Amino acid sequence: MDLLQGVPVTSNSVAEALPAKTLDDLVAAVAERTGSDRIATTFRSCYGNTIETTVQLDDAGRPFVITGDIPAMWLRDSSAQLAPYLGIARDHEPMADLIAGVIRTQFRLIGVDSYANAFNRAPTGGGHPGDLCDNPWVWEQKYEIDSFAFPLWLAYRFWRSTGRTDFADDDFRAAARVIVDQLRLEQDHEARSAYRFVRDVGLESETLARDGLGAPVGFTGMTWSGFRPSDDACKYGYNVPGNLFAVTGLRRLAEIATEILADPRLAADATALADELADGVRRHGIVSHPELGEVYAYEVDGLGHALLMDDANMPSLLALPWLGSVPADDPVYQATRRLVLSPENPYYFQGSAASGIGSPHTPHRYVWPIALAVQGLTSDDPAEQRRLIELLIDTDAGTGLMHEGFDVDDPDKFTRPWFSWANAMFCQLVLEHTGLDRSR
């Protein structure tokens, strides 16, 4: 079988990735440091969720991570889903084997279709058969910058946390070159791109204008994206948090290319492109707010239009410091943070049960646990982190798990009862709040 460069992934090794004693010890540490059995109980439920319910093996025995109630693997989601386990992977080989295998799967799938955001476990054609893409491996071909940035982020963090380099196989090397070349090509989407996306379901958020080309854009130096991390269509083609996260990914790739792949040309190309994207954001992605001064826009088009908002999904403007894309004390970020955590953000909702950032992807006045966790992860106030941890538990509708979104006035109304990414972000917040995160 084609397995992990000689390290086989089996159903037993998936189970061994998170042994009961390891989980028990971690939960006990959470209970001790928080003084709360309630937090520890929810942490246990959420932390076991990804390994116990969403990690599968494909027909070749390679690990494949579904999101939960959708039987497909998103390149973005699967990266974030595994982040809380990086600390365990430092000392526990089965977990490291599993994460290395998922990274291999991610970069192999980028080679299958570099414009796709989500994939099937086998070439079944599952997903959206009416779309233009007819690749049977593809669940959905919504082109999103984070589908490149998140796997690079995970690979880099895995390497730096464990010291292992066996994820960087031939598929990784080939996909890395594709990533750099495609991000560069999409800097001039209007003139050079052959990508089109049309889905005739009567929703603007599910399709791109102009027969799939997307709304007009001017050249900015940034790279174009058809869709947001929410999988909703971009209003303007340059997603600013996506570009900033791509800068982070490209700089990390340059380190991998230098130290692991011994590919100076790839390193130089990745660095040069990162510089161009960062300059494009500086020149076009920062706008003047009448009260807050300079802030990051969420999207721009290079034609004079800018969208001031934030979405709950990552990469978000709120999440930029946690993702390593801007310093937490960056004055532009701090001004942007004030904007997106206020009613000036059209997707910031306040209610009797909670206040936080939601998304046009979910019902009006639904706040996302992912965004509440990110709010805590980007705060330097332990009391604020603790408040958000307890708020997340208070609004889980008694399920012991996180959801996609919930009604700010009635948390018993929620979307997606099985959503591993949200569970992972709750766990990440608890780990960082308690000082138990050993991955950084």
Q: Return the pLDDT at 8.
A: 47
* Domain range list for the chain: 4-434
**What is the residue-level pLDDT of the chain in tens, covering all 440 positions?**
233 333 445 666 687 999 999 999 999 999 999 999 999 999 999 999 999 999 999 999 999 999 999 999 999 999 999 999 999 999 999 999 999 999 999 999 999 999 999 999 999 999 998 899 999 999 999 999 999 999 999 999 999 999 999 999 999 999 999 999 999 999 999 999 999 999 999 899 999 999 999 999 999 999 999 999 999 999 999 999 999 999 999 999 999 999 999 999 999 999 999 999 999 999 999 999 999 999 999 999 999 999 999 999 999 999 999 999 999 999 999 999 999 999 999 999 999 999 999 999 999 999 999 999 999 999 999 999 999 999 999 999 999 999 999 999 999 999 999 999 999 999 999 999 999 999 87
Q: Return the pLDDT at 149.
A: 98
336: which residues sit within 8 A by CB, 6+ positions away?
292, 295, 296, 317
Q: Return the pLDDT at 3.
A: 30
The CATH number of domain 4-434, selected from 3.40.50.740, 1.50.10.10, 3.40.50.720, 3.30.365.10:
1.50.10.10
The pTM of this model reads 0.96
Q: Return the pLDDT at 7.
A: 43
243: which residues sit within 8 A by CB, 6+ positions away?
145, 222, 223, 277, 280, 281, 285
Identify the three-state secondary structure at position 113: coil
Q: Return the pLDDT at 9.
A: 56
Q: Is 317 left (phi over 0), alpha (psi -120 to 50) or beta?
A: alpha
Identify the three-state secondary structure at position 351: coil
Q: How far is CA 171 from CA 51, 104, 199, 341, in A?
A: 24, 7, 30, 40
Q: Return the pLDDT at 4.
A: 32
Distance, in Å, from the CA atom of 434 to the CA atom of 249, rounded to the nearest integer, reads 27
